[in-house]
Amino acid sequence: MSNNYQKYQFSISKFLLILGIGEILFWGIAFLFWQYISENEPTFRFEHQWVLYGILLYVPLLIVSYLFINIWRNKTIKKYADFELLPNLTSGYSNFKALSKYLLLRLGIGSLIIAAANPQYGNKEREVTSKGIDIMIALDVSNSMLAEDLVSGKSRLYVAKKNIAQLIDQLHGDHIGIVVFAGDAFKQLPITPDYNVAKMFLNNINTDMITAQGTDIGNAIEECMSSFNFERPTNKAIIIFSDGEDHEEAGITAAKKANEEGVIIHSIGMGTTSGTPIPVFNNKGAKSGFKNDKEGNTVLTKLNENILIDISNAGGGSYTRAQGYNIGLDGLVSAINEIEKSELSNERFLTYDDHFQVFLIIGLLLILLDTLITEKNNNRFINLKSYQK
């Protein structure tokens, strides 16, 4: 009797056979296509290559779910439906149509994933003239920047780096460099147009980079000035991220001198004006307490706005106090954009043509066709008959 049910059930063995053959053909054709396109179109690429990993994810999920549903269906028919009633309830089950529906869905979703990855290839070059200014970031890495008074659990330095990364993302054509400072200052990154490199160097900045403690803003400004190429007729700006714990006049003097040479200085106050302790960390990076002075008293740090305001005024720029994660980034970007931009370089780029449209159309058509096909032997209405004993 069990063999009689086969007409109304999904064939697992046939599915696995077709699955194996289909996957071998699919990946074989994909490999040959990749070999061909690599040899004949060297500029071919996927704009979002990481999206292709979705194929490795969805295929196993589709196979497992498809098997689970049909095994459950087979057991349900055999358990609850009397064989003599089945001809009156359904016209039968087509394994060919069921396998076709799986393959259509499999290829349809795969085509949509390829479309989302956006296959491209270049066909021509274009020359782009970039315009911008030279910007030096002066970032305070003194121990006081470890204080967590802006965002709970996050240091002043972390908040500053996060905002600098966001600032870099909003720059267009400008060149950027980074100076780190505490009691001393040194150039972390020379001026570059490569924003990815700038963010890579930014990520590696920490308070252990300079052993001499203090906040020598004047030295930081001088280091920034030495990074500029004044033979190149471009406008220049310095942006200082610091808690301002510098009680020397050297910063104001350096800012005035820089402004006389045409450099605008903006400053961002990192911290609050109320005293907060400075965390101390052990070798494993875990917080082990707070910094104490020689008498054993907890050292408190607070934002010194006055020095930063004076430096910004002397440098012809603006001062902004950070409020949590907010440093007034929009205003800072606007101030940078107001500075007249100069021609920095002419660069040649290879333009790429998008070819996702073909795969998008194929994917949608295959999925639509899958929804239109039924797994029954035919599409006529079931003629429900009265069951007579």
The predicted structure's pLDDT at residue 176: 94
Strands (E), 215-298: 236-242, 263-269, 276-277, 279-281, 287-290
**What gap in Å lies between CA 300 and CA 293, rounded to an integer?**
10
Residue 382: pLDDT band (50, 70, 90) is very low
What's the distance, CA 322 to chain centroid?
24
The torsion defined by the Cα of 160, 164, 167 and 173, in degrees rounded to 10, comes to 160
Residues 312-359: tens digit of each pLDDT: 999 999 999 999 999 999 999 998 888 888 776 655 555 677 888 989
Q: Which H or E element spans position 226?
A: helix 217-227
Q: Are strands 175-181 and 134-140 parallel, antiparallel or unpaired?
A: parallel
Least confident of 5-14, 114-123, 181-190, 260-269: 5-14
Domains of the chain: which residue ranges?
2-118+355-372, 129-347
Is residue 385's pLDDT more than 60?
A: no
Is residue 84's pLDDT more than 70?
A: no
- Looking at domain 129-347, its CATH superfamily turns out to be von Willebrand factor, type A domain (3.40.50.410)
Q: How many CA atoms lie within 13 A of 212 on its CB side?
A: 10
Residue 199 burial class via C-beta count within 10 angstroms: exposed 0-12, middle 13-18, buried 19 and up: middle
Is residue 5's pLDDT more than 70?
A: no
Structure tokens that stand for 101 in this block: 């529906």
Q: Which percentage of the chain shows pLDDT scores above 90?
A: 39
In this predicted model, which residue has the larger pLDDT, 387 or 134? 134
Q: DSSP labels for 74-134?
A: HHHHHHHS-TTTHHHH-S-B-HHHHHHHHHHHHHHHHHHHHHHH-EEEEEEEEEEEEEE-E
Q: What is the mean pLDDT of residues 30-52?
A: 81
Percentages helix, strand, coil for the chain, rounded to the nearest 5? 45, 25, 30
Q: For the chain, how many helices (H) and strands (E)?
A: 11, 13
Give backbone dihedrals phi and psi of 122, rounded to 5 degrees, phi first: -90, 145
Q: How many CA atoms lie within 13 A of 337 on its CB side?
A: 11
The DSSP call for residue 5 is G
In this predicted model, which residue has the larger pLDDT, 292 or 347? 292
Q: What is the mean pLDDT of residues 47-70?
A: 85
In this predicted model, which residue has the larger pLDDT, 374 or 149? 149
**What gap in Å lies between CA 251 and CA 254, rounded to an integer?**
5
Is residue 381's pLDDT more than 60?
A: no
Residues 103-135: tens digit of each pLDDT: 888 888 888 999 999 888 766 656 656 788 999
Are 44 and 119 contacting, i.e. CB atoms less than 8 angstroms apart?
yes
The predicted structure's pLDDT at residue 134: 93
**What gap in Å lies between CA 247 and CA 329, rounded to an integer?**
27
Is residue 386's pLDDT more than 70?
A: no
Q: What is the mean pLDDT of residues 254-279?
A: 94
In this predicted model, which residue has the larger pLDDT, 361 or 231? 361
The predicted structure's pLDDT at residue 25: 83
